[in-house]
Amino acid sequence: MDLIRIGDKLISRRKINSILERIFELRCQGFSQQETARQVGVDRSFVSRLETLGEVRRGRRIAVVGFPVANKAELENMLRQEGVEYILLLTDAERWDFVRQKSGLELLNQLMEIVARVRDYDVVIIIGSDYRIKVSEALLGREVVGVEIGSSPIKGDREVDVEGLRALVRQLGKDTGKDKEGWDKK
Per-residue three-class SS string for 52-96: HHHCCCCCCCEEEEECCECCHHHHHHHHHHCCCCEEEECCHHHHH
- What averages of pLDDT result for each successive group of 10 residues across the chain (186 residues)? 89 93 92 94 92 69 96 97 94 95 94 91 94 93 89 95 96 64 43
CA dihedral 109, 113, 119, 120 (to 10 degrees): 160
pLDDT of the residue at 128: 96
**d(C-alpha 85, C-alpha 124), whole Å:** 11
What would the CATH number be for the domain defined by 62-173?
A: 3.40.50
Q: Could you state, in order of their start, the residue ranges of all structural domains in the chain?
A: 11-54, 62-173
* 81 Cβ contact list (under 8 Å, min separation 6): none
**d(C-alpha 157, C-alpha 92), whole Å:** 5
Give tens-digit pLDDT for 111-141: 999 999 998 888 999 999 999 999 999 998 7
pLDDT of the residue at 141: 75
**d(C-alpha 42, C-alpha 184), whole Å:** 32
Cα radius of gyration rounded to whole Å, the chain: 19
pLDDT of the residue at 53: 81
SS3 (DSSP) at 112: helix
pLDDT of the residue at 142: 67
Note the pTM of the prediction, 2 decimals.
0.64
pLDDT of the residue at 58: 56
- Scored b (16 or more CB within 10 A) or e, 137-175 reads beebeeebbbbbbeeeebeebbebeeeebeebbeebbee
Residue type, 19: I
